[in-house]
């Protein structure tokens, strides 16, 4: 016990949806670029060298997601891309035609989208309609279609995520695009969780704007992109030097972009192997936890309807944060998968939208797999989960009960 080596925790990291480790190739490529001077907007040799690296990276990313290089707008990450797409599209579309005030979305979007829409509603006169999902967390297409058809000329934009970040349910984006495009309504999609997990083809998707980010695909934090069709008008959020098609000013972060490109290439190239491998681990983890814990429930769509790396389970009678703490103490790292302010667990808006009650929503954990996940990680969860649930259930009962300890 006093032996220092015994205090080194073996960690089973099952929070790849929060952030995943960088590929060694990414670290190497970034390190190399960090040592070079040069602003990609400068006209001299060092500037040209920096520019060349950035443009090669742009081409690499474009190839990985089947977009044109000019359709890649670099940003600081998923949140910025979501803000830029939703606000930029709304302002541009509303300016072109004042009747366009409605934004159609889902009740299960990431807060980067939801809060942007909420802001547009309070500050820019948008009318936001968050459409219902079914009990698996899948957009109800009938309602979506009805919402569009009710008054298509008033729809400024549609934003529907590619796959949900909490429960992993893949959304029917092809149908969404088909319905919206009948009326020329642009579609944005947050594909932060989908990239590298399922195939992503920007050109074939028909989507007008798509959010991706580096740190979910084995790249660095703090860099992402908005894939933006060339014919889409967008009002800028960031004003300055006019970089990135005048849509996103700011000195271009060459090292981060090299890292993003390196990760995108590896993540996409490896996806056909990684996807099925993770789906196998996912299904094994789900099956074994459901076997080990009476009353546990899977949230989100089963099988191919969910991301290969996503496992989301409710353990009725527990507080998710108690479970998380107990598992953390065992070196099993996961997430309550819910929005946090000051670390205060709120019942997830995604689970509530799926029809779960608040208590069940708070009794939930997300285990997310990524490129470095192994069967040993699954074993670690399975070994730790049943005793942790027993204990958390006892604590849940104790917290509710009155009287003295």
| Residues binding other proteins (CB under 8 A) | 321-322, 324-326, 328-329, 341-345, 391-392, 394-399, 401, 403-405
Give the Cα-Cα-Cα angle 184, 190, 196 (nearest 5 degrees). 125
Contact (CB, 8 A) for 240 and 249: yes
Active-site position among 28, 96, 340, 394: 340
What CA–CA distances, in Å, run from 366 to 4, 12, 167? 32, 14, 7
Of 2 and 98, CB closest to other proteins: 2
Q: Cβ closer to other proteins: 283 or 390?
A: 390
Question: How far is Cα 391 from Cα 385, in angstroms, rounded to an integer?
Answer: 10
Q: Select 28 or 394, whichever has its Cβ closest to other proteins.
A: 394
- Taking the complex as a whole, the smallest distance from the CB of residue 161 to other proteins amounts, in Å, to 27
In this complex, which beta carbon is closest to other proteins, that of residue 1 or of residue 98?
1
Give the sign of the dihedral formed by CA 125, CA 205, CA 152, CA 108.
Answer: negative
Q: How far is the CB of 122 from other proteins (least distance, A)?
A: 16
Reported as type and span, the H/E element at residue 227 is strand 224-228
For other proteins, the closer CB: 77 or 396: 396
- In the complex, the smallest distance separating the C-beta of residue 355 from other proteins, rounded to whole angstroms, is 22
> CB of 326: closest distance to other proteins in angstroms?
7
Least Å from the CB of residue 404 to other proteins: 6
Q: Any catalytic annotation for residue 340?
A: yes
| Tokens 């989908």 belong to residue | 194
Comparison of 371 and 393: residue with beta carbon closer to other proteins: 393
Please give the Cα distance from 386 to 359 (Å, whole number). Answer: 19
In angstroms, the CA 162 to CA 172 distance is: 8
What are 199's two structure tokens? Answer: 């195939």
Instruction: Give Cα separations from 334 to 307, 331, 348 (angstroms).
Output: 16, 10, 16
In DSSP terms, 72 is beta-bridged to: 227
75 sits in which H/E element: strand 72-75
CB of 405 to other proteins, least distance (A): 4
**Using CA atoms, how far apart are residues 95 and 109, in angstroms rounded to an integer?**
25
CA quadruple 175, 180, 183, 186: dihedral sign: negative
Residues forming the active site: 340
């Amino acid at each position: 016990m006093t032996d220092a080596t015994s205090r080194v925790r073996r960690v089973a990291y099952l929070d790849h949806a929060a952030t995943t480790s960088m590929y060694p190739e990414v670290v190497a490529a970034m390190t190399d670029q960090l040592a070079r001077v040069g602003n990609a907007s400068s006209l001299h040799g060092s500037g040209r060298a920096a520019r060349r690296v950035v443009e090669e990276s742009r081409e690499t990313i474009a190839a990985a997601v089947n977009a044109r290089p000019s359709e890649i707008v670099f940003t600081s990450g998923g949140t910025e891309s979501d803000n830029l797409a939703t606000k930029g599209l709304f302002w541009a579309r509303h300016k072109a035609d004042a009747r366009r005030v409605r934004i159609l979305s889902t009740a299960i979007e990431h807060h980067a989208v939801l809060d942007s829409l909420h802001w547009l509603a309070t500050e820019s006169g948008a009318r936001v309609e968050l459409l219902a999902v079914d009990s698996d967390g899948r957009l109800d297409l009938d309602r979506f279609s009805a919402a569009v058809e009710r008054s298509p000329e008033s729809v400024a934009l549609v934003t529907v995520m590619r796959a949900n970040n909490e429960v992993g349910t893949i959304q029917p984006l092809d149908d969404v695009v088909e319905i919206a495009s009948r009326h020329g309504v642009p579609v944005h999609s947050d594909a932060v969780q989908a990239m590298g997990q399922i195939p992503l083809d920007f050109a074939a998707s028909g989507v007008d704007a798509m959010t991706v980010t580096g740190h979910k695909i084995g790249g660095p934090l703090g860099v992402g992109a908005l894939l933006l069709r060339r014919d889409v008008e967008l009002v800028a959020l960031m004003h300055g030097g006019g970089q990135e098609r005048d849509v996103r000013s700011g000195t271009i972060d060459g090292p981060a972009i090299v890292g993003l490109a390196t990760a995108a290439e590896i993540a996409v190239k490896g996806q056909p192997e990684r996807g099925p491998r993770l789906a196998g681990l996912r299904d094994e983890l789900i099956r074994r936890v459901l076997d080990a814990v009476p009353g546990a429930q899977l949230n989100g769509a089963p099988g191919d309807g969910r991301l290969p790396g996503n496992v989301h389970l409710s353990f009725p009678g527990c507080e998710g944060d108690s479970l998380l703490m107990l598992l953390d103490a065992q070196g099993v790292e996961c997430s309550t998968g819910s929005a946090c302010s000051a670390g205060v667990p709120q019942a997830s808006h995604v689970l509530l939208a799926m029809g779960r009650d608040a208590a069940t929503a708070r009794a939930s954990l997300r285990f997310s797999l990524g490129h470095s996940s192994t069967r040993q990680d699954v074993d670690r969860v399975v070994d730790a989960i049943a005793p942790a649930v027993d204990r958390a259930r006892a604590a849940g009962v104790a917290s509710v009960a009155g009287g003295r300890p």
